[in-house]
Amino acid sequence: MKTLLKIFGGLVALLLIVVVAGGVLLGMFFDPNEYKPEIQKMALEEGGIQLEINGDLGWSVFPWLGIEINQIKVNYPGKPQLAELNQAQVSVELPALLSGNVKMSSVLLDGLTLNLEKSQDGSTNWAVSGAGKKSSGKIEHDTPSTAEASGGAAIALDIESIAITNGNISYSDAGTGSKVLLKNFTMTSGKVTTGELFPAELSFQAEQYLTEQLQMTVDAALSAELFLDLENQQYQIKGLESTLGLTGVPFNGKTVEVKLNTDIESDLNTETASLKGMSLNAANLAASGDVSVSSFSKPVITGNLKVSQFSLQELLVALGQPAIETTDSNVLKAISFDAELGGAPNTLGLNKMNLTLDDTQFNGNFAMNLANGSIAFNLQGDKLNADRYLPPAAEQPADTASSGSSAKPTGYSKEPVIPVEMLKGLEMDVDLGLTTLLINGLTLSNLELATSAHGGLVNMSKINADMYSGKLRNSVVVDVRKSPTKLTVKKNISGIQIGDLLQDMADVDRLTGTFNTQSNITARGESVHAIINSLNGNAKVTMPNGEIKGIDIAQTICQGFNNVASLTSTADQVDRSTPFADLSSNFKFTNGVVSNQDLLTKLDAISLRGKGKVSLPAQNLDYRLGLTIEENLFKKTCAVNNNLEGVEWPVNCKGSFDTEPAKLCRPDASVLKELIKQKAKKKIEGALMEKLGGDSGSKTEGAKKLLKRLFGN
């Protein structure tokens, strides 16, 4: 046995001597530079690339199997230069490699320049059809991993250090006119060993161009300790500290510093990864959290996320953007957010969301399907004063405000206003709610907004609110699945106290009553012109009771009639208000023309009727209002001559939308003319009868015939 061992030891020693001697002989008698033409020829024939070696090649065999390459250029035939390398050095300890370990001296890669170009026709300089297709005819198989090749045992790494210096990468796309440069890429490490932490640092500068104009620059620096366990496929980035300095057009010349600190772990065997102790800072924005991912094919994401309170106004200024102009300068200065991460596989879910917007608290949840991008969003808030966030009211020019003239209406635009393609791509379900909303001086409670959008069908099923003792229950459907777009609007407003509404909206206390309306309107098209010209449906308005304050309409009109007709008036004013009842009307929409034939309301002792049409496409109207003094409904406010009772006094409103109001609606003078004629006839007839001494005889009959000739009846 001892003899056998001695023989085996002798063979090993002899083998080492042969390898060492062979290495010495190779170094002495064979110069790798003599083979540069053959190497370049093989690269062209086998790989389809042009390889240009301008520097020296060097090698060593034992105990380090190493190679040194200098000044290499690579490109595909007829294409711009793809890559250039100034120097590369790498050497492996041969005895360690034979034992299944990789032990290297320092790895050096200097002056790597990679130039990627994409032309307008889509062709590139890094992939050429047919390049490198020459083969031996053997069927290619996937290369087994290192662990598989060694029967499950991974190769252990032991590298003195890694240095990548002066790296430059450029990418340009002639089709979009964009270009990205990565300059001064540097990466250094300490001793790289498997199963132990080792330090590494990385830095680079990046520039992004659009049509040769510099848009943004990025100055990046990262440092961390890395851990590699190749056998168990476990990897760590511990104590990552990264800093990005962003400057460019989006920030209006300002530099924004972004810092990210975290620990990253990944286990490929169990398909898990995590970010622990994550801290992100950008200007005055600070976010923190922990994120874990499992099952990479259909990831399950868990963890938490928090954004500390910050001022949005200050953040915008720091990002080089103008602050948002608001009516209240103290808003948008206290915003915070936190949520738990979780949900079904392949879903990014934010659960138990809490959002603070100044004095308003929101809570809800959010989910996004990572496969198709569909979104489900639910957010409920308490009290929000939206008026504080509206822009300040613009001052109206004095000449415009005082002129009283109306601009001549123009034709409706035929430009599309409905984003059809965007709506087709929406996949979302959104529910929003507020306990109380104050907007434009109006107070709404129990606000509900529910929208679903799938496959081009957008259904805003709830646009609901309670306001001023009444309810709003509205819905809108936008269907872009077929052309033209179809719109359906349903409104149901019931029990609104119109007096309280006007008081808050315009500080007017002139009208009280309960307002109700129901409507169902459809339209087709994507432009305002198409929508207006295709309005079809119906609407109904009712106000069963109410009061107009500040004026006794019945008495005022009655006195006016009496004065005009020179009739005796015995009016005694009772109050300065006008009760009304049974205001109701039905409207029909036919291709944009609104017709109404049954407007009716009772104003104390007067009834008001109306009928006519309003053409939205033609922007004109032809409507007739009729006032009739009838038997008193509530109280006697004015005594009129019997000749006025039951007579309808019409007002005709006819013209285009730009007609001055004073000229648009005018009384029908023929009614007044007829009334005066009848009154004059009676007075003359009475005077004649008195002169003739009674109502009999041929003289009387002659007088009547004479009056008939004069007045026509």
* Model pLDDT for residues 449-500, shown as the tens digit of each residue: 999 999 999 999 999 999 988 999 999 999 999 999 999 999 999 998 888 8
d(CA 688, CA 34): 145
Residues 498 and 441 reside in one and the same domain: yes
* Model pLDDT for residues 83-138, shown as the tens digit of each residue: 888 988 887 776 766 666 767 788 888 998 999 999 988 888 887 655 555 544 44
Whether 129 is in a domain gets the answer: no
Residues 167 and 118 reside in one and the same domain: yes
Residues 579 and 490 reside in one and the same domain: no
Looking at 516, 534, 552, which one is the last position of a domain?
534
Query: Which residues are 51's β-sheet partners?
Result: 74
Q: Which H or E element spans position 291?
A: strand 285-294
Output the pLDDT for position 151: 44
Matching residue, tokens 């879903």: 347
Residues 168 and 227 reside in one and the same domain: yes
Looking at 499, 517, 534, which one is the last position of a domain?
534
What residue type is assigned to position 712 of the chain?
Answer: G
The mean-pLDDT minimum among 147-161, 491-505, 521-535 falls in 147-161
The full 3-state SS of 577-593, as one line of letters, equals EEEEEEEEEEEEEECCE
pLDDT > 70 in the chain, percent? 73
Whether 378 is in a domain gets the answer: no
d(CA 169, CA 166): 10
Residues 64 and 212 reside in one and the same domain: yes
Q: Are the C-beta atoms of 131 and 49 separated by less than 8 Å?
A: yes
Residues 458 and 607 reside in one and the same domain: no
Distance of CA 618 to the CA centre of its chain: 35
Residue of 378, 532, 395 whose CA lies nearest to 448: 378
Residues 197 and 114 reside in one and the same domain: yes
The average confidence (pLDDT) of the chain is: 81
Residues 551 and 663 reside in one and the same domain: yes
- The answer on pLDDT for 680 being more than 60 is no
Q: Are the C-beta atoms of 324 and 286 separated by less than 8 Å?
A: no
**What's the token pair of residue 535?**
């309005």
- The answer on pLDDT for 403 being more than 60 is no
Cis before 63 (ω within 30): yes
d(CA 361, CA 353): 10
* Model pLDDT for residues 310-367, shown as the tens digit of each residue: 999 999 999 999 999 999 999 999 999 999 999 999 999 999 999 999 999 999 999 9
What residue type is assigned to position 233 of the chain?
Answer: Q
pLDDT > 90 in the chain, percent? 47
Alpha-helix residue ranges (DSSP H) falling in 645-711: 661-664, 669-692, 697-711
Whether 250 is in a domain gets the answer: yes
Residues 456 and 586 reside in one and the same domain: no
Q: Are the C-beta atoms of 356 and 334 separated by less than 8 Å?
A: yes
d(CA 44, CA 51): 7
Provide the terminal-to-terminal Cα distance of the chain, rounded to the nearest Å. 154
Residues 521 and 548 reside in one and the same domain: no
- The answer on pLDDT for 679 being more than 80 is no
Output the pLDDT for position 689: 60
* Model pLDDT for residues 216-271, shown as the tens digit of each residue: 999 999 999 999 998 889 999 999 999 999 999 999 989 999 999 999 999 999 99
The mean-pLDDT minimum among 7-16, 263-272, 372-381, 391-400 falls in 7-16
* Model pLDDT for residues 616-627, shown as the tens digit of each residue: 999 999 998 887
What is the pLDDT confidence band of residue 649, given thresholds at 50, 70 and 90? confident
Whether 287 is in a domain gets the answer: no
Whether 248 is in a domain gets the answer: yes
DSSP class per residue in 85-141: EEEEEEEEEHHHHHTTEEEE--EEEE--EEEEEE-TTS-BSS--TTTT----SPPP-
Q: In which domain, by residue range, is 449 found?
A: 414-534
Whether 246 is in a domain gets the answer: yes
The pairing of strands 427-439 and 375-385 is parallel
Note every long-range contact of 559-564, with CB atoms under 8 Å and residues 24 or more positions apart, other chains counting: 559/638, 561/629, 561/640, 561/644, 561/649, 562/638, 562/640, 562/641, 562/644, 564/672
Residues 526 and 546 reside in one and the same domain: no
Buried b (16+ CB within 10 A) or exposed e, 666-683: eeeeeeeeebeeeeebee
Based on DSSP, count helices (H) and strands (E) in the chain, helices before strands.
Answer: 13, 35
d(CA 83, CA 85): 7
User: CB under 8 Å to 419, separation ≥6 — which residues?
Assistant: none
* Model pLDDT for residues 38-94, shown as the tens digit of each residue: 878 888 887 788 888 888 877 766 566 677 888 888 888 888 888 888 988 887 776
Q: If you ran DSSP here, which 8-state letter would residue 443 be given? A: E
Whether 329 is in a domain gets the answer: no
Looking at 513, 534, 555, which one is the last position of a domain?
534
The full 3-state SS of 43-56, as one line of letters, equals HHHHHCCEEEECCC
Count structural domains, the chain: 3
User: CB under 8 Å to 525, separation ≥6 — which residues?
Assistant: 484, 485, 531, 533, 534
Residues 519 and 643 reside in one and the same domain: no
Whether 337 is in a domain gets the answer: no
What are the phi and psi torsion angles at 554 (to 5°)? -60, -45
